[in-house]
Structure 1
């Protein structure tokens, strides 16, 4: 069973680490408490607008195209040194490429009435397949020798008559996809938004709507301070499918979210903090946007050329 807010986080980290070896810290600080813009009325996940930082994040389809292009370029380079590069195959060939943008059906926990009635707090089957994977299968982790060529720790050395390029095969692939001056800092935007999300969760306006939701839940006979407590109730356990008790709580949860417009307020507060983050980091975010434009253009060109 999955009741995890960010299902694909581990996959994102694995791929980002493989491609760049770096990680984002996520800024939990910022400027003054921002004013809210328009608060949307949210009664289903389809009503949730995009967040400001989504404009600086690849869609799932764009990310998949980028990763496949990177894999092809790296594989071609590694083959020149006698290596069969397969480290990215498990995710790309399974169709489980992670979404770098928040999953609107899960980001603010269960919100769709039909989902609550059918499976309580359980994530869709696609999520359980990833988390229930027992890890069996071919080990495609790069060996020490392969990694030396991949990241260029032995750059300048000759192997089989070929000189390892500066930055290794990863650097060679980055040059093709990111351009001469580009960096893959755009992969860290999902981590950057952890700060605005944390500030939103601690904001008094969100806490106030949580209190309204909690009072609504009490009227239905349930005692929870916030939606996270209901989502993470130990009574639900790991067994599937959801029992009637879980389904009844989830249905009441969704009904109270709709009554209080909890998700609309929560979204609006987070949107305000994300807007503030983008403004406070305008130069960096502009660079991220430019890099994304280059990545999309080069990925499409390389994919069209048969790479």
Structure 2
């Protein structure tokens, strides 16, 4: 919105974002293909297999916004101004959150409860005729294909069924939450500071939206 407002102030009144508008999220964001926890959602498994939900970007409408060196220079300058006004939470805090999250994933993957549940899932898949060591390996088998195949749908349906039978998702997320709570307790001061920084940025973004006339 800041870039659009800047470009229009510069005289490019037909500028509408050139693909800046984000695609709409799927109705059920948890109906994504399998991860380390197994497939979530039997209904989605039977329709999309291991392919992501179909999403489309809005197509630009109306006349072209502009072209040429002056247009490109203005666009770069507007992008810079928008980035400066938006800013970001402090880098160290963001890096800490990312590092802790990755460490929690690794710890959950090594946990004996997750290993046992994954073994039950694998045995269930083998009994259904689909050999697999863990759910994370399944998407790679099928995502390269341009379209969903009957074999992919059958495998995904088995994955969803075995995920439920083994309670792999429930165990995986409970174990992950446990490790993450330990991390929160050990890094409470730094994480609280990061939380406050993110809230401040949210308030800043809301103010910027209101100033451009696009507030909620």
Matches within 5 A, 1:286-305: 286-305=192-211
Corresponding residue for 1:244?
Answer: 150
Which of 31, 48, 53 aligns to 1:105? It is 31
Corresponding residue for 2:43?
Answer: 114
Corresponding residue for 1:202?
Answer: 110
Q: Distance in 1 between matches of 2:82 and 2:157?
A: 51
Q: Distance in 2 between matches of 1:115 and 1:172?
A: 40
Indicate yes or no: 2:3 matched with 1:95.
no
Corresponding residue for 1:183?
Answer: 90
* 1:227, distance to aligned residue in structure 2 (A): 0.9
Look up the SS of the partner of 2:21 in the other structure.
helix
Unaligned runs of 5+ in 2: 58-65
* 1:225, distance to aligned residue in structure 2 (A): 1.0
Indicate yes or no: 2:170 matched with 1:264.
yes
Q: TM-score, normalised by structure 1?
A: 0.51
Look up the SS of the partner of 1:274 in the other structure.
helix
- String of CA shifts for 1:231-272, please: whole Å, max 9, x gaps: 3225x64131x2222211111111110011100011111111
Q: Distance in 2 between matches of 1:94 and 1:148?
A: 21
Look up the SS of the partner of 2:145 in the other structure.
coil
Corresponding residue for 1:226?
Answer: 134
Contact 2:47/2:153 (<8 A) preserved: yes
Which of 47, 53, 72 aligns to 1:124? It is 53
* 1:229, distance to aligned residue in structure 2 (A): 2.2
Which of 284, 289, 296 aligns to 2:190? It is 284
Contact 1:83/1:146 (<8 A) preserved: no
Contact 1:109/1:231 (<8 A) preserved: no
Unaligned runs of 5+ in 1: 1-67, 98-102, 131-137, 152-167
Q: Distance in 1 between matches of 2:138 and 2:128?
A: 13
Moved more, 187-196 or 290-299: 187-196
* 1:296, distance to aligned residue in structure 2 (A): 2.4
Q: Distance in 2 between matches of 1:276 and 1:258?
A: 27
* 1:290, distance to aligned residue in structure 2 (A): 0.8
Q: CA RMSD in A?
A: 3.9
* 1:214, distance to aligned residue in structure 2 (A): 0.7
Q: Distance in 1 between matches of 2:86 and 2:152?
A: 48
Corresponding residue for 1:212?
Answer: 120
Contact 2:49/2:156 (<8 A) preserved: yes
- String of CA shifts for 1:138-163, please: whole Å, max 9, x gaps: 99xxx899879977xxxxxxxxxxxx
* 1:96, distance to aligned residue in structure 2 (A): 5.6
Q: Cα distance 1:112–1:169, how it changes in 2: closer, same or farther (>3 A)?
A: closer
